Structure formats: structure tokens, C-alpha cells
Structure 1
Amino acid sequence: MGKRKLITGIVVGAVVGGITALFDGDTRSYTKQRISRCKDMSSHVVRNPADAVNNVKQSVDKFYETFSYQAENAVNALEQVEQTLGTVSDKLSSKRK
């Protein structure tokens, strides 16, 4: 019950906030432009689904390449930290003997 009231309150607050913001002329103009752009983009996707699929594929490929590159960098950094800790640990062990 509490969860439902929270979600309802958030939605109502967002709607009221959005309507209140539209009293400003600049906000209305910006909103109109964004809705028009969204409509144009969705119309293009409906008319050219192959382009949309190709764009999504390219985006996923780019994301995968970037993710792989960053993961490699993270692994290399962890290996360097591990080597440094090993060196420090060896030095401390040799000093204790």
C-alpha cells in the first residue's frame, strides 16, 4: 500500500510540475521542438526500419569496443597494482628476516 502511494505521489508530482513548467513561454517552445523532433525521428524509424536496426547495431558494436578497451585498461591497472603490492610485500618480508 505504501509503495503504491509513493509511486502515485511521484507521478502526480511530475505531471503537476510539468504542467506548471509549461506556463513559461521558453519551456513551451523547447518542449514543442523536442516533441516535433521525436515525432520526426519515430516517423523515420517506422519508414526505414533497416536503418534503425543498423544504427542500433553500430551503437552496440561501438559500446562493446569501448567497454572491452576500458576493461583491458582496468585489468592492466589491477595487474600493476598486484605487482607493486607483491614487490612491497617481498621487500617487507626480506627486512623482517
Structure 2
Amino acid sequence: MAKRQANKQREIVGMYEVLDALEDALDSASQEKRKALSDTLNSFARDFPEEFFWAVGPQSPALLHHLMYAIDCEPVVCPDCAGKTATVETTGRA
């Protein structure tokens, strides 16, 4: 009974909460890191315009998959990820 109550109180985390968290993380990054990311995305768009517009392209699942793994993969949530957990490093590379 207590377990059922605990589950009812847990807030659902959907796509918009993930996007808000990403925005917060990017907003807290230094201006140099945001500029480096922007430059990298612009270069990617210039070099691979078909793939940059991934929302309508065939690479969108692969790009999202790699993005999510680059951010983090929590084995508790994703049993297939055990031993593959990646952490975000701030090495100055975008």
C-alpha cells in the first residue's frame, strides 16, 4: 500500500521537462562553451544540411540516441545500459 502511494506522488517527467533541463544546463554553461557548441552545430549544418534538419530526416533516431547517451545513461532506468554509463565532461570541446 505504501509503495502505491509513493508512486502516485511521483511527478511524471516527459519530453518538455527533459528539454527544460537541457536548456537550463546550456544556460548555465560559460559563454565560450555555448559559442563552441553553436559553432559546431553551424558547421554540422553547413557540412551535412540533410542530417542537420534531423527532425524530418532518417538520422533523427540515431542523433537522439547518441545525444541521450552523451548526457547520461542511468542503469537503474535502463537495464541495457549497465556498464555503459557516460558522464558529461566539461573539457571545453563542443
TM-score by length of 1: 0.28
Structure with bigger RCO (C-alpha 8 Å, 6+ apart): 2
Higher helix share: 1
Considering only CA atoms, is the larger Rg found in Structure 1 or Structure 2? 1
TM-score by length of 2: 0.29
